[in-house]
């Protein structure tokens, strides 16, 4: 069994094994014609459950196809139009292979050295792009949910409220913001009424007049406005809240301003659309997900702050890991800033990407998918079979199939739900779903520069076909 340990004596074994795995994945990628096989959970579960994990195979590479590769969901396919999942760039995949083999842990300097400095440089690079100022800092995280949690932890601590009074704290965010805001409030021990949902306008952007009124009411009731969470790229609509106006209100009410830019952070590299983030530099904290619009493998996210001193709220010292004397000796232990202890060197993926492609290279690809969404919106707006909700700022399209016959809204809901499920079961394309008000809608999330307008048109035809087939079958059943 020692032959499987990665060390200087097994380098050739490592080379052969990884090469064989890469060849198998490369062949699968080249042969993939659909984003999904269409297999159901009842069919696949027995295959996985039947595996005897106590019996070694010696070489598990060949078995990967049956239990994983054959039925994986392939985000790189141009007709994967589902969630905020991106195809990944090759320099980042190389970085993933390197960091997994070396297995650095980014909690302390004596476990990561150069990795620590690379991560810190990337944090500085990102905060400079945002414009947070010379005192800015941050830390890589597992994803946007953790980034939002840490930012709101800092906001809670900066509010300087005793724990017995946490029920007085309020967080204001748009009705279209990410559910992690509510989850964070619960984890932080705030009251059930802690998160105040602010209405949005017709473009799904937070209404600042409503926000101002909510803040005024909060103060009048003796509650404490802990934070405002503005969203730069909502999950459903890609809408960007009016950041300058929100910043002004946060200053007026002495409230922490957090910007959830998990999706919209790709604009930081865009030469065409950078202006959509105007006002983000006023934020006290920002969430970015490089594993969305920077085309990085999961996981790659960060929490960024205007004032590095606020990160002290996540600092704990342990003699066996990061004793206080190390901080006094200016030894850079990243665990001093993080909610995690053991942490992967995910920053290497972004480092490799920027060194090979440059920021403009990433920005150009993100601009392409935003341009594609604009073309897709024109297609939907001109097609009587569909109702499209808003003109996109980023790269999402929310729409609904309108049946050719006269049916009830409820029947239209069922037709759209059926179309999504039938499309997924066919494996020909994958789309997401959501609700607008009480009605069921479908959603394209466009993060693949290889997707074309023709792909969008073809998937719309498939959706329409499935929906009309469902309605036709319903009429047959009723007659």
Q: How confident is residue 192, by pLDDT bands cut at 50, 70 and 90?
A: confident
**What average pLDDT does the structure give for the chain?**
96
Burial of 87 (0-12, 13-18, 19+ CB in 10 A): middle
Residue 475 C-beta-side C-alpha neighbours within 13 Å: 9
pLDDT of residue 32: 94
Q: How confident is residue 332, by pLDDT bands cut at 50, 70 and 90?
A: very high
Task: Compute the distance between CA of residue 12 and CA of residue 405 in angstroms, rounded to an integer.
Answer: 66
State the average pLDDT over residues 358-363: 98
Contacts of 140 (CB under 8 A, 6+ apart): 106, 119, 122, 123, 300, 301, 302, 343, 346, 347
Of 48-52, 116-120, 245-249, 304-308, the poorest mean pLDDT is in: 48-52
pTM beyond 0.75 = yes
Task: Compute the distance between CA of residue 35 and CA of residue 222 in angstroms, rounded to an integer.
Answer: 53
User: Hey, what are 8's tokens?
Assistant: 């200087």
Instruction: Name the helix (H) or strand (E) containing 230.
Output: strand 224-231
Task: Compute the distance between CA of residue 187 and CA of residue 371 in angstroms, rounded to an integer.
Answer: 38
Strands of the sheet containing 169-174, edge to edge, are: 137-141, 301-305, 285-289, 256-261, 224-231, 169-174, 195-198
* Residue 139, phi then psi, degrees to nearest 5: -155, 145
* DSSP state for residue 297 in the 8-state scheme: P
Angle between helices 208-220 and 243-252 (to 10 degrees): 20
Q: How confident is residue 404, by pLDDT bands cut at 50, 70 and 90?
A: confident
Q: How confident is residue 397, by pLDDT bands cut at 50, 70 and 90?
A: very high
pLDDT of residue 9: 85
Question: Cβ(362)–Cβ(268) under 8 Å?
Answer: no
pLDDT of residue 58: 72
Res 406 pLDDT > 90: no
Classified as helix, coil or strand, 189 is: coil
pLDDT of residue 465: 96
Of 438, 375, 434, 450, the closest CA to residue 80 belongs to 450
User: Hey, what are 346's tokens?
Assistant: 């995910």
Sequence-ordered alpha helix ranges (H) in 64-188? 64-67, 90-102, 109-112, 114-130, 144-158, 180-187
Of 468, 435, 433, 467, the closest CA to residue 81 belongs to 433
Res 415 pLDDT > 70: yes
Of 207-216, 338-347, 398-407, the poorest mean pLDDT is in: 398-407
Distances (CA, A) of 220 to 162, 166, 217, 459: 20, 17, 5, 51
Res 306 pLDDT > 90: yes
């Amino acid at each position: 069994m020692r032959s499987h340990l990665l060390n200087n004596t097994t380098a050739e074994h490592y080379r052969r094994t990884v090469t064989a795995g890469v060849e198998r994945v490369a062949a699968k990628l080249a042969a993939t014609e659909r984003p999904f096989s269409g297999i159901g959970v009842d069919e696949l579960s027995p295959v996985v459950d039947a595996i005897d994990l106590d019996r070694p195979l010696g070489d598990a590479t060949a078995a990967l196809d049956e239990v994983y590769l054959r039925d994986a969901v392939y985000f790189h396919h141009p007709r994967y139009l589902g969630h905020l999942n991106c195809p990944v760039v090759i320099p980042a995949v190389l970085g993933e292979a390197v960091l997994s083999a070396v297995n650095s842990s980014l909690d302390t300097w004596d476990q990561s050295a150069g990795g620590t400095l690379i991560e810190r440089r990337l944090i500085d690079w990102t905060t400079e792009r945002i414009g947070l100022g010379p005192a800015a800092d941050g830390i890589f995280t597992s994803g946007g949910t953790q980034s939002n949690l840490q930012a709101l932890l800092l906001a809670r601590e900066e509010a300087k409220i005793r724990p017995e009074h946490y029920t007085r704290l309020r967080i204001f965010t748009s009705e279209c913001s990410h559910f992690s805001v509510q989850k964070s409030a619960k984890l932080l021990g705030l009251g059930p009424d802690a998160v105040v949902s602010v209405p949005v306008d017709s473009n799904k952007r937070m209404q600042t007049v409503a926000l101002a009124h909510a803040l005024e009411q909060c103060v009048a009731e003796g509650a404490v406005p802990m934070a405002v969470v503005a969203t730069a790229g909502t999950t459903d609509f890609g809408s960007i809240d009016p950041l300058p106006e929100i910043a002004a209100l946060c200053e007026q009410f002495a409230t922490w301003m957090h910007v959830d830019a998990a999706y919209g952070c790709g604009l930081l590299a865009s030469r065409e659309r950078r202006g959509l983030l105007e006002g983000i530099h006023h934020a006290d904290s920002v969430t970015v997900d490089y594993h969305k619009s920077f085309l990085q493998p999961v996981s790659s996210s960060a929490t960024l702050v205007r004032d590095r001193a606020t990160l002290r709220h996540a600092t704990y010292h342990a003699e066996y890991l990061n004793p206080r004397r190390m901080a006094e000796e200016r030894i850079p232990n990243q665990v001093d800033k993080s909610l995690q202890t053991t942490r992967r060197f995910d920053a290497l993926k972004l480092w490799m990407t920027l060194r090979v492609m440059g920021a403009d290279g990433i920005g150009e690809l993100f601009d392409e998918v935003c341009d594609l969404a604009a073309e897709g919106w024109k297609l939907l707006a001109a097609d009587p079979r569909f109702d499209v909700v808003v003109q996109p700022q980023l790269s999402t399209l929310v729409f609904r199939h309108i049946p050719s016959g006269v049916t009830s809204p409820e029947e239209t809901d069922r037709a759209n739900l059926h179309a999504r499920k039938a499309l997924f079961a066919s494996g020909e394309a994958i789309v997401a779903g959501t609700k607008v008000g009480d009605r069921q809608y479908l959603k394209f999330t466009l993060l693949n520069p290889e997707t074309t307008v023709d792909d969008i048109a073809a998937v719309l035809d498939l959706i329409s076909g499935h929906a009309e087939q469902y309605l036709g079958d319903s009429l047959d059943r009723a007659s």
